Amino acid sequence: MKKPELLVTPTCLEDIKPLIDAGATAFIIGEETFGLRLAGEFDRTAVQKTVELSHEHGVKVYIAVNAIFHNDLLPKLPEYINFLHEIGVDSIVFGDPAVLMNVREVAPSMKLHWNTETTATNWYTANYWGRKGAKRAVLAREINMDSIIEIKEQAEVEIEVQVHGMTCMFQSKRTLIGNYMEFQGKDLKVEGRSKDRTLFLHDPERDSKYPIWEDANGTHIMSPKDICIIDELEDMIDAGVDSFKIDGILKSSDYIVKVTSLYREAIDLYVEDPDKYSELKDDFVEKIKAIQPPNRDLDTGFFFKESVY
């Protein structure tokens, strides 16, 4: 039985070695200019050091180049892609065909992971991008377990699934909070120039709080709960899903390390002793609940819901 890759989003360079020790086998990092909703900002020096340290331990490094690209950013792409190629990153994560076309011209041997976050909902589309050059499809968070298994059975590319952490519910390229506060005549310094992550949209009817922030990529509204399916990994491991992702956005380094260690233990246990995993799966959930931030409940996302579009 094949073990899936355990892909983690670190917050900083100092996270890398502890996460390797905790069992991570791949990282996704990047910088805000080119990547969306990163757990931390990695400038070029940090990217290069992450690649060097990770490769020493046989761990892969993927770079997020999945921003929404407008014309003004396109001239910066070739040089950035060439830099990533020269330092030996393992893959570029993209959503915009502009990235794919630039990679073909600048670094044709570079591997690509297709990730639009929302439109990878069927195996035909995954295979379409595979035939265009992508080696992996990152599935949408809004599809259920049956759809994931069916896509994996028919896919000609690797399949990546998020198994833990918050998800994005809405993005606008506009700075909506800053625009609103300016209209109200109030001073709120979050107009695309702030890393403030302390703002929430409150839904009193459902008693839910949605993290919201602005950066150079616009406004982001996140889910009120964290996905956690550490006790429901069997079907995807059996189906051969290639990569399980833990998203560490808005989490502390200590939390990400502990969650990574628990998922490492759960994956290894299922592969080695499925019956023992079945006995202990509830314990894994309880251990994660014990370290959850008080304002972040857990749920299973769309894994066991009928997808409605």
Q: What is the pLDDT of residues 106-133, one digit of tens each?
A: 999 999 999 988 889 999 999 999 999 9
- Chain Cα centroid distance, residue 20: 17
pLDDT for the residue numbered 146: 95
pLDDT for the residue numbered 208: 80
pLDDT at 77 over 50: yes
What's the CATH number for 5-166+226-299?
Answer: 3.20.20.70
Closest CA to 116 of 104, 103, 102, 98: 98
pLDDT at 181 over 80: no
| CA angle 67–149–258, rounded 5-degree value | 65
How much is the average pLDDT of 29-43? 94
Q: Where are the domains of the chain?
A: 5-166+226-299, 171-221
pLDDT for the residue numbered 191: 43
With contact defined as beta carbons under 8 Å apart, do 226 and 170 qualify?
no
Q: What is the pLDDT of residues 198-237, one digit of tens each?
A: 777 777 777 788 888 788 888 888 888 999 999 999 999 9
pTM, whole model, 2 decimals?
A: 0.91
Closest CA to 116 of 180, 32, 230, 36: 36
Mean pLDDT of the chain: 90
